[in-house]
Amino acid sequence: MDKLKVVVIGGGSSYTPELIEGFIKRHDELPVSEIWLVDIKEGEKKLNTVGELAKRMVQKSGLPIDIHLTLDRKKALENADFVITQIRVGLLDARIKDERIPLKYGVIGQETNGPGGLFKAFRTIPVILDITKDMKELCPDAWLINFTNPAGIITEAVNTYGATKKIVGLCNVPIGMRMGIAKLLDVDSSRVEVDFAGLNHMVFGLNVYLDGKNVTDKVIDMIVYDKDAISVKNVPGIDWEPEFLKGMGVIPCPYHRYYYQTQTILEKDLESYKENGVRGEVVKRIEKDLFELYEDKNLDIKPPQLEKRGGAHYSDAACSLINSIYNNKKDIQPVNTVNRGAIKSLPDDAIVEVSSVITKEGPRPIVMGDLPMHVRGLVSQIKSFERAAVEAAVTGDYDKALLAMTINPLVPSDKIAKVILDEMLEAHKEYLPQFFK
């Protein structure tokens, strides 16, 4: 049997124990023999803490997996089979700025949507593209599995400008939606299938099947009366208007609340900011507690407290995908991949989030036809935002950056867009050399 080498860039992340657990659970069919956890100097303490926990988890399992910790990315990447990226350029302090600054101007500040998502992309894209250059040199046959948010924009950037085309973007939201639907129906999730189509954090459940029978209308009726059925930790749970959901006829993801309940979300965010700070500050406190747990020499499992961080199902998402590519399983999973006609109204070369057959050659997106007319416009607007964001991030073009900021639906005007853009460029100057040549 082959021995697989997996490299995790951003290995000091609090999510890493989820991955280790996932590889341990699947070791009988996914023979991972080396896991290299890579981080930067600023993340060295976290890397060592998480790395020691990973070693204890592997030791408890009794499996022949070697855990390596390093700050040397090139050394880690040599002859890798799979590379996982879960990085945060600028660390949580940058996220806090992404969330705080827009709120000053009455605009939602959020990690992956609106101005915050745009600036996370600006900081991240150049780093990810550098990683693909290293991969081309050191592990040209490896698959890049990208968790880093905003996952759709990052995958779009690599597909357009990267040194590898072997990339799949991954998000836990569709998996969480399917799990939530199964819980609503009070059945095991293996009996539930969902046709997913859209973009990352802009994905819809077009059809829901229980044991092969279409139960979409029934599920929509149930969601109307249970706002927490399909939710994530970092998006406020707000009731949907029943008639609106029924009128849509498709199942929205939690992030759609930012677009269909904008004012209510903004008011809740401002209220939360006054009480507890922005979400990034809350996460900072959660992470502090998590890493104190991770330092316990007796801990040798993924602690249940990790779910408060918002990372539920990550191990299932990443490890199932890697398992299916390696074993050519040809099962169906929702991933971020090249459209290739799967969603009719979007360009064939655009990155979409869609149910796909997973093969050893990568994802084959399932043709969904088209999105309903009433959601098509919003999805197209977000795709135009994503493409403008990628171009601005790569070129450092201020005009393209302002275009991207202004056409995002969460930003009300070009005047406000410019004020926010200028302040955020200055706030993140250290991580945006492309804009300050």
User: Is the CB of residue 419 less than 8 Å from the CB of residue 269?
Assistant: no
Catalytic residue among 255, 258, 314, 431: 255
User: Is the CB of residue 120 less than 8 Å from the CB of residue 95?
Assistant: yes
User: Is the CB of residue 121 less than 8 Å from the CB of residue 411?
Assistant: no
Structural element, H or E, at residue 15: none
Beta strand pairing status for 66-70 and 32-38?
parallel
CA distance 79 to 76: 8
User: Is the CB of residue 32 less than 8 Å from the CB of residue 110?
Assistant: no
Give a three-class secondary structure readout of 78-127.
Answer: CCCCEEEECCCCCHHHHHHHHHHHHHHCCCCCCCCCHHHHHHHHHHHHHH
Return the SS3 of 371. Answer: coil
Q: Where are the beta strands (DSSP E) in 11-92?
A: 32-38, 66-70, 82-85
Q: How much is the pLDDT for 236?
A: 79
Q: How much is the pLDDT for 312?
A: 61
Return the SS3 of 2. Answer: coil
> Model-level pTM?
0.95
Q: How much is the pLDDT for 378?
A: 97
Residue-wise pLDDT tens for the chain (437 aa)? Answer: 589 999 999 999 998 999 999 999 999 999 999 999 999 999 999 999 999 999 999 999 999 999 999 999 999 999 999 999 999 999 999 999 999 999 999 999 999 999 999 999 999 999 999 999 999 999 999 999 999 999 999 999 999 999 999 999 999 899 999 999 999 999 999 999 999 999 999 999 999 999 999 999 999 999 987 767 787 777 878 889 999 999 999 999 999 999 999 999 999 999 988 888 999 998 899 899 999 999 999 999 988 777 766 656 777 789 999 999 999 999 999 999 999 999 999 999 999 999 999 999 999 999 999 999 999 999 999 999 999 999 999 999 999 999 999 999 999 999 999 999 999 999 999 999 999 98
Q: How much is the pLDDT for 414?
A: 98
Measure Cα distances from 152 to 182, 282, 368, 374, 379 in Å. Answer: 26, 25, 18, 22, 12
Alpha carbons within 13 A on the beta-carbon side of 426: 6
Does the annotation mark 255 as catalytic?
A: yes
Q: How much is the pLDDT for 238?
A: 86
Q: How much is the pLDDT for 308?
A: 65
Angle between helices 91-104 and 414-427 (to 10 degrees): 150
List all residues 6 or more positions away from 222 whose beta carbon is below 8 Å from its beta carbon.
Answer: 184, 185, 229
Give which of 284, 324, 323 is closest to 94, Cα–Cα. 284
Alpha carbons within 13 A on the beta-carbon side of 51: 24
